[in-house]
Amino acid sequence: MQLPLDRSSERPLREQITAALRERIESGELAAGARLPSSRELADRLHVNRTTVVDCFQDLRAAGLLETGVGRGTFVAERGATRTLRVRGPALKRGAAKAARNGAAARGGDAAAAPDFVWARWLAHARPLPRVHAPGAAGAEARIPLSRAVGHPDLFPVDRITDALDRAFAHDGQRLLDYPSPAGFEPLRDALRARFQRQGVATDRNEIVIVNGSQQGLDLVARLLLADGGTVVTSRPSFSGALDVFRWHRAALVGLPYDTEGFEPAPLDRALGGGGARLIYAIPDRHNPTGLTLSEAGRERLMAAARLHGAAILEDDWLAELSDPGEPAPLKARDTTDQVIYLGTFSKVLAPGLRIGWLLVPKVLFEPLLALKKTCDNGTNLPAQAVVHELLASGSLDEHVKGLRKQFESRRARVDAAIDVHFPKEARPRRPHSGMVAWIDLPRGSDVNRIVAEASRAGVEITAGAPFDPAGGALDGFRLSYATAAESDLEPALARLGRVLKSVLHGAGAATAPPLV
C-alpha cells in the first residue's frame, strides 16, 4: 500500500493518512471486505509512529469506513455503513458551526435536525495536493530568498518584452485576441523547429505543442501516459513539481541514485526490468535540484537502457536556453526510436509570468495530446506566445541570454567562494558548472527541518530535501538557489547559513555519518 505523504506540509500526517485511506475506500480501490495491514505493519511502511496509524484507523471506524474484528484484523466496511467524517481543526469546526447557524436562521430554524454539509468530505485529499506557499508574512521581505528556482526581478528583460509586445500587436493585433490554436502560435512553432534543428534534434517525425509553462507540460504527459497509474523511474532527489504531478496521477515512484554519470546501471536495469516502469523522468542538463549536468557516457547509457527495456523518457530541459555549443546534446538528439518526449520552458530565462513552454512529442502522441490540452485551456495565451516569437525572431532573446549566462556565472562563483569560507566541512556542495541551483549534502541523520527553520529565523530561505524525495521521506540535504536574491546579498546570506549549519551540525547529538542521498 503506497500512501503519498508530504512531510514538509503543515498538515499533520494523521490527517494525510486518514484522507488517503478514505479516498481509496470511497473510490473502490479498496473494496468492501478488503483487509488492511496491521497498524504496526502500516506504520513501519510509512515510517510513522504506530500511534498515528492507530488514530487514523479509529477516525475511519468512526466514519463507518472500517471495521475491526478481534483477532481477525481491520477490514473495509460495507458501503452502507459510511457516515460523514468530520474534518478536524478548530477553524473548520467554527466555520461549519457558523454555516449551520446561518442556514438554520435562514430557514426559520427548521434545519436544526439536518446534518451539516461538509465540503471537505468531497475534496480529493488522498490525491496528494502539493503545499501552496502563502504570500510572505510580515517581515518576510527582510529574508534573503535562496529557495526559489527563478531569477531575480531585475533579471527580467522588461524593456525587451515591452518592445516585443508592441511589435506583435502592431503586426497582428486583432488576430492575437482571438482563440489560439491548441497546438500553439504557428510562427512560434516554426521558430522552435529551427532552434531544435540547430541542437541536432530532428523534427520531421515529431510535433511541437506550446503549453502554459513546463508544469502544464508535465501534467499533460502524466494525464496521457499515467491515467491508470504506472511506475515512473527518476533520480533521487528529483524536481518536486514533477513528483507532485506524478503522485496526483497515482504513479508509483522509484527514485535512484544519480550523479554526473547518470543512474547506476544495475539499479536502473532492476527498476526497468519486466516492463514495470512506464516512464523515465530525466533532467540531464542543470538538474533540479542538484544542478548537475549528465556526461556524454551517462546519456548514452540511459538511452541504451530505455531502448533495451522499451521505456519512454520524459526529458525536462528546463534551462535549455542556457546551453552552450560545447555541451552534450539533449537526449532527444540521440532518439532514433522515438521514445523521448522533450519538454522545456521560457519561464526561467525570460519571466515566469509569461507561462510559455513547449513539448516536442512523437507524432503518434500529437493528436491525443492536443485533444487532451483542449479540455484544459482551449489554447495557450496568444499574446504571450507572440511576444516570445518576436524575441526569438529578432535575436533579442539570444542577446538577453548572453547577459544572463554571465550573471548566473558571477552568482555561481560568489556562492562557491562563500561556501568554501563559511560552511562547515560536513556540508558538502555538489558544484554545478552553470544554472541557478545547487545541492548541499549533509551527514546522514541531519535535522534538515531544524536547519531550514533556524536559517529562516536568521533571515535566509532555503528548501529542505524532503519535497525532492520520490520515496516521500526525508533527504539529508537541501537545495539553494543563487538566482532569486540580489547578487550583493548572496555572501551575507551564506555567511548566516554557515553559522546555522555549524550550530546544528556541531551541536549535541549531531549526525556524523556520511550523507545518504
20: domain CATH number?
1.10.10.10
Please identify, among 324, 356, 391, the residue that sits at the C-terminal boundary of a domain.
391
Check if the beta carbon of residue 360 is closer than 8 Å to that of residue 341.
yes
The amino acid occupying position 260 is: T
Q: What is the mean pLDDT of residues 457-465?
A: 95
| Residue with cell string 548566516 | 496
Check if the beta carbon of residue 269 is closer than 8 Å to that of residue 277.
no
Contacts of 338 (CB under 8 A, 6+ apart): 205, 206, 362, 363, 364
Q: Is there a domain that residue 76 lies in?
A: yes
Q: What is the mean pLDDT of residues 58-67?
A: 89
Asked if 103 and 242 sit in the same domain, the reply is no
Domain count within the chain: 2
Asked if 220 and 340 sit in the same domain, the reply is yes
Residue (of 405, 472, 408, 457) closest to 436 by Cα position = 408
pLDDT in tens, 69-91: 767 789 888 764 444 444 444 44
Q: What is the mean pLDDT of residues 373-402?
A: 95
Element (H, E) at 358: strand 357-362
Q: Is there a domain that residue 153 lies in?
A: no
Instruction: Tell if the pTM clears 0.75, that is, is over it.
Output: yes
* Structural domain boundaries, residue 31: 1-129
Using the predicted structure, report yes or no on whether residue 208 has a pLDDT greater than 70.
yes
Using the predicted structure, report yes or no on whether residue 434 has a pLDDT greater than 60.
yes
Asked if 191 and 337 sit in the same domain, the reply is yes
Q: Is there a domain that residue 207 lies in?
A: yes
| CA distance linking residue 228 with residue 469, whole number of Å | 22
On the CB side of 202, CA atoms within 13 Å amount to 12
Where does the pLDDT of residue 8 fall: very low under 50, low under 70, confident under 90, or very high at 90 and above?
low
| CA distance linking residue 355 with residue 359, whole number of Å | 13
Q: CA dist 330 to 216, 314, 323, Å?
A: 21, 12, 10
pLDDT in tens, 235-287: 999 999 999 999 888 899 999 999 999 999 999 999 998 777 889 999 999 99
What is the reported pLDDT for 69?
74
Q: What is the mean pLDDT of residues 342-362?
A: 96
Residue (of 400, 463, 45) closest to 237 by Cα position = 463
Asked if 118 and 191 sit in the same domain, the reply is no
Check if the beta carbon of residue 271 is closer than 8 Å to that of residue 233.
yes
Asked if 210 and 324 sit in the same domain, the reply is yes
Asked if 124 and 191 sit in the same domain, the reply is no
What is the reported pLDDT for 87?
43
What is the reported pLDDT for 140?
45
Asked if 89 and 215 sit in the same domain, the reply is no
Q: Between these two residues, 365 and 33, which has the higher pLDDT value? A: 365
Q: Is there a domain that residue 206 lies in?
A: yes
Using the predicted structure, report yes or no on whether residue 515 has a pLDDT greater than 50.
no
Asked if 32 and 125 sit in the same domain, the reply is yes
Using the predicted structure, report yes or no on whether residue 131 has a pLDDT greater than 60.
yes
Q: Is there a domain that residue 236 lies in?
A: yes
Q: Is there a domain that residue 401 lies in?
A: no
Please identify, among 391, 407, 428, the residue that sits at the C-terminal boundary of a domain.
391
Residue (of 207, 185, 252) closest to 388 by Cα position = 185
| CA distance linking residue 21 with residue 127, whole number of Å | 10
| CA distance linking residue 360 with residue 184, whole number of Å | 12
Asked if 213 and 339 sit in the same domain, the reply is yes
Q: Is there a domain that residue 29 lies in?
A: yes
Asked if 112 and 192 sit in the same domain, the reply is no
What is the reported pLDDT for 403?
96
pLDDT averaged over every residue in the chain = 86
Asked if 192 and 337 sit in the same domain, the reply is yes
Cis omega (within 30 of 0) for bond into 182? no
Render the burial of 41-66: b for 16+ CB within 10 Å, e for the rest.
ebbeebebeeebbebbbebbeebbbb
Helix (H, G, I), strand (E, B) or coil at 345: strand
Asked if 195 and 121 sit in the same domain, the reply is no
Rg (CA), the chain: 25
Please identify, among 111, 129, 147, the residue that sits at the C-terminal boundary of a domain.
129
- Lateral strand order in the sheet of 206-211: 206-211, 357-362, 340-345, 312-317, 277-282, 231-235, 252-256
Report the CATH number at residue 195.
Answer: 3.40.640.10
Q: What is the mean pLDDT of residues 417-445?
A: 95
Q: Is there a domain that residue 511 lies in?
A: no
